């Protein structure tokens, strides 16, 4: 429950990818420096589990920072992430075995879903926050359509969320959002100062939205 609360307080979860573990690690530092406290380190990053361990060691005294593992496609990867200390697990799709493992160790699981049927299966398996993925396939207006028959569902859109439409997503009723693309783009060119600047813009926009 504490981690779920911190995810909602973070408001914006940065989905971090990188060609190397060093690039991803530096991007995470730049993002946190910019004021965003939610990090989803994807397992497309080489040695992702080691990066997660290093991040947790670095920010262990900053309780507002929450570090999770993303692009977790199977239960083996989920177990590896949990052993590395990942505080939550994110998948692009729902996987029952991963849900059961996360429930066993009381680690929040945020699977990607696109339909009411998928969301229903996820909720039955103990999921507390559903990742609406890809958000770009829907847009904020879909939230009310999902919440009409299922007002209890907590949604986190990822993909297609940006500074221009972030308010629309929150106004529609999401609990948090996942961002990557334009936030991480400068990191590919080694421009981590720009990553910090963009993170500051997202942090400022979030503060403006939440008052």
Catalytic residues: 40, 131
Which token pair is 103?
A: 């429930």
Separation in Å, CA 124 to CA 19, 26, 94, 173: 36, 38, 12, 21
Given CA atoms 154, 158, 162, 168 in this order, what sign does their dihedral have?
negative
Given CA atoms 13, 14, 17, 22 in this order, what sign does their dihedral have?
negative
Q: How far is it between the farthest Cα atoms of the chain?
A: 46
Q: In 10 A of CB 112, how many CB atoms?
A: 24
Separation in Å, CA 153 to CA 169, 191, 195: 15, 38, 32
């Amino acid at each position: 429950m504490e981690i779920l609360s911190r995810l909602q307080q973070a408001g914006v979860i940065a989905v971090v990818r990188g060609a190397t573990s060093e690039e991803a690690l530096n991007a995470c530092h730049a993002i946190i420096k910019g004021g965003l406290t939610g990090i989803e380190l994807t397992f497309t990053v080489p040695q992702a589990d080691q990066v997660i361990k290093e991040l947790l060691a670095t920010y262990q005294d900053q309780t507002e920072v929450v570090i999770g593992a993303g692009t977790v496609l199977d239960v083996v990867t989920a177990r590896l992430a949990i052993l590395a200390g990942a505080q939550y697990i994110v998948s692009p799709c729902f996987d029952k075995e991963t849900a059961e493992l996360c429930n066993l160790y009381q680690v929040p699981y945020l699977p990607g879903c696109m339909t009411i049927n998928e969301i229903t299966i996820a909720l039955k398996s103990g999921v507390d926050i559903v990742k609406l993925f890809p958000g770009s396939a829907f847009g904020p207006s879909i939230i009310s359509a999902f919440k009409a028959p299922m007002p209890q569902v907590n949604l986190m859109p990822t993909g297609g969320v940006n500074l221009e439409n972030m308010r629309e997503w929150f106004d529609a009723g999401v609990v948090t959002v996942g961002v990557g693309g334009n936030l991480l783009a400068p990191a590919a060119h080694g421009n981590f100062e720009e990553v910090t600047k963009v993170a500051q813009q997202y942090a400022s926009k979030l503060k403006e939205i939440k008052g």
